[in-house]
Structure 1
Amino acid sequence: MHIRRSAEEIAANRARYEEHQKKGLNFAPKALPGKSALPAPDLDDKTIVHREVIPGGWYWSTRVKALETLRVHLTHGFSTVSLIAWNAADPVERLNLPDTVKMQWTTGLGKGRVIFSDMGKVMFSITEDSSGAHDCLMGGSTAASNARKYAGSNSAATRNSRDNFVLMATKAGLSKRDIPASLALFAPVPVDAEGRFQWKPELLNQGDYVDLRAEMDMIVGFSNCPHPLDPNASYAPNPVTITRLAASEPAADDLCRTATAEAVRGFENNAFAAL
């Protein structure tokens, strides 16, 4: 049943949320940095475990070990890349974007933030990020959204992230029910004061990249399909380069592990689970 709320009730709820948000953010012991500099720094060949170029419309999944880093790099022009992940030891634990947003009091993910699982543990640390334009609310494309957007096109030529993730999950021995909500990297979709999604291409840069450090052993999947709000009428995602980098031990004062109280608690959960 739909409940219609008065303007006064909506305003009171927003004020209460903003007060809780202010209190939560006041516990942050460190200020978060700005965006990472461009161009992306060169990688030492000795640290590269694997490099994969995902063609437009396709997907790729890989297993990563704790403290390895995945660099997602727009080396061939703009594309939105959707990401999902499971705990490799127990895939019941998976990426959880609602908790990621709630526990950090923001939908803005960027350098210094972390990404949580549905068990309160940290799955990824965002150690570098030149963009900051990532969508953790809308999710990826579906056959239905593509049919509306690319009317008259052959569905085989306009692959979508939902179907890609189903194929990916099946190959991993999982089912549709195991697929979490996906994070759309390089999707400039801020939310305005009225709660409406907007596509803001000026938030993107040529050659954008993001480095995601794994904080547990994981199965990670990527789908290189256009975001549902991407206004381009042509289905033309560019190839995206994913580089898996060897594990390295974070410093004691690592930004992602110490920047916010929520992250500190998340890493405590990781450490407890490892006992």
Structure 2
Amino acid sequence: MTSETSVRTATVAARAPWSAVIPGGALLTITDLHGNQAVDFLVYDAADTAVRYSAPDTIQAQGGIFLTTGSVLMSNEHTPLMTVTADGCGGHDTIAGACSKESNTLRYGHHTWSQHACADNFLAEGARWGLGKRDLVSNINWYMNVPVEDDGTLGIVDGRSAAGLAVTLRAERDVLVLVSNCPQINNPCNGFDPTPVLMTVTAPGATR
């Protein structure tokens, strides 16, 4: 029987941030409720946030730039932070980074300066845990479809996700997770219409 403390859920509104400490052995499931919604993601060692997700270490360890079942999120000390245990979508991005006011104005024009961005979400949510701008690193974009063209340029195209698809990660130690439910409206990563996602934390040994 599942207790209230063994499974916790939170709906993250469109454009909003979220964070939590995920205990070692627990599962975090991110469900795309409406489809085609990018979820920007950072993870840190909860006991020492100087140890944090490293895109280069993760890419090197798995020999590829896209994440799916079996992918291990590696730290800057080349140690495992989380492992993808189930994935209904596949091909999650590790290289496109987070949108910001600066990148929006560069790509889409100065009229976008006032638009909320993932960098804002990370800074606001990270501040709750004593993190600042220097603690932000290149992030994962769950559900974001970023093909690499023959000339090496990156595309941002319609996502592969659909309503109800989910990705589940197991914490390999106590970790702090920061999420930005991407507010981007200038490219198709959110179908030009950001929507909510569901976070489910399942304690070790719990039955959902």
The equivalent residue for 2:58 is: 100
**Are 1:204 and 2:161 matched, yes or no?**
yes
**Are 1:130 and 2:88 matched, yes or no?**
yes
Q: Secondary structure at the match of 1:203?
A: coil
Q: Tell me if structure 2 keeps the 8 A contact 1:149–1:233.
A: no
Q: Tell me if structure 2 keeps the 8 A contact 1:140–1:227.
A: no
Equivalent AA in structure 1 for residue 90 of structure 2: G
The structure that is helix-richer by fraction is 1
Provide the C-alpha distance between the structure 2 equivalents of 1:218 and 1:170, rounded to a whole number of angstroms.
Answer: 16
Query: RMSD over aligned Cα, in angstroms?
Result: 2.5
The equivalent residue for 2:73 is: 115
Q: Map of 1:60-79 to 2, 5 A cutoff? A: 60-79=18-37
The equivalent residue for 2:108 is: 149
Provide the C-alpha distance between the structure 2 equivalents of 1:73 and 1:134, rounded to a whole number of angstroms.
Answer: 14
Provide the C-alpha distance between the structure 2 equivalents of 1:232 and 1:100, rounded to a whole number of angstroms.
Answer: 23
* Residues 211 and 220 (structure 1), Cα distance of their counterparts in 2 relative to 1, 3 Å cut: same
Q: Tell me if structure 2 keeps the 8 A contact 1:141–1:161.
A: yes
Instruction: Give the C-alpha shift of residue 45 in structure 1.
Output: 4.7
The equivalent residue for 2:182 is: 225
Q: Map of 1:50-61 to 2, 5 A cutoff? A: 50-61=8-19
Provide the C-alpha distance between the structure 1 equivalents of 2:19 and 2:191, rounded to a whole number of angstroms.
Answer: 26
Deviations 1:68-91 (A, max 9, x none): 111000113331000001101111
* Residues 229 and 122 (structure 1), Cα distance of their counterparts in 2 relative to 1, 3 Å cut: farther
Instruction: Give the C-alpha shift of residue 230 in structure 1.
Output: 3.0
Provide the C-alpha distance between the structure 2 equivalents of 1:229 and 1:122, rounded to a whole number of angstroms.
Answer: 34
Q: Is the radius of gyration larger for structure 1 or structure 2?
A: 1
Equivalent AA in structure 1 for residue 155 of structure 2: Q
Q: Which has the higher contact order (CA 8 A, sep 6+)?
A: 2
Instruction: Give the C-alpha shift of residue 146 in structure 1.
Output: 3.1
**Are 1:189 and 2:146 matched, yes or no?**
yes
Which segment drifts farther, 202-211 or 225-234?
Answer: 225-234
**Number of aligned positions between the proteins:** 204
* Residues 217 and 167 (structure 1), Cα distance of their counterparts in 2 relative to 1, 3 Å cut: same
TM-score under structure 1 normalisation?
Answer: 0.67
User: In the alignment, which of 41, 56, 75 is matched to residue 83 of structure 1?
Assistant: 41
Segments of structure 2 that go 5 or more residues without pairing to the other structure are none
Which segment drifts farther, 161-170 or 118-127?
Answer: 161-170
Q: Map of 1:172-187 to 2, 5 A cutoff? A: 172-187=129-144
Q: Secondary structure at the match of 1:201?
A: coil
Instruction: Give the C-alpha shift of residue 203 in structure 1.
Output: 3.0
Q: Secondary structure at the match of 2:52?
A: coil
Instruction: Give the C-alpha shift of residue 153 in structure 1.
Output: 5.4
Percent identity, aligned pairs only? Answer: 29
